[in-house]
């Protein structure tokens, strides 16, 4: 079995990477939203279609990143709880 301390640090690092990925996805999503709003203001249908597709892709990436953060946080919490239980046994 692996060292509990190492396991906890690995879970924390994974959670941090997931959170960083979520922040990057949120930034990309905001940029695509601005692009889409600009295209709508200009009224160019082809540009609106392209920017809407990019916006939808950015939204999907953000939602996936949110799920990854939640999954990582849950894993880290489970590890910490297991260590607490083991400490009291």
Q: What is d(CA 31, CA 21) in angstroms, rounded to the nearest whole number?
A: 15
Q: Is the CB of residue 34 less than 8 Å from the CB of residue 58?
A: no
User: Which structure tokens are listed for 72?
Assistant: 């990582």
Which band of pLDDT confidence, cut at 50, 70 and 90, is reported for residue 8? confident
Q: Note the pLDDT of residue 61.
A: 96
Express each pLDDT in 60-83 by its tens digit: 999 999 999 999 989 888 888 888
φ, ψ dihedrals at 39, nearest 5°: -60, -40
């Amino acid at each position: 079995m692996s060292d509990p301390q190492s396991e906890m640090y690995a879970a924390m690092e994974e959670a941090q990477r997931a959170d960083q990925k979520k922040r990057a996805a949120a930034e990309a999503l905001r940029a695509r939203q601005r692009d889409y709003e600009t295209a709508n203001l200009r009224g160019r249908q082809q540009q609106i279609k392209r920017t809407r597709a990019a916006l939808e892709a950015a939204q999907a990436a953000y939602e996936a990143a949110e799920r990854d953060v939640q999954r990582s946080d849950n894993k880290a919490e489970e590890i910490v709880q297991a260590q607490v239980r083991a400490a009291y046994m």
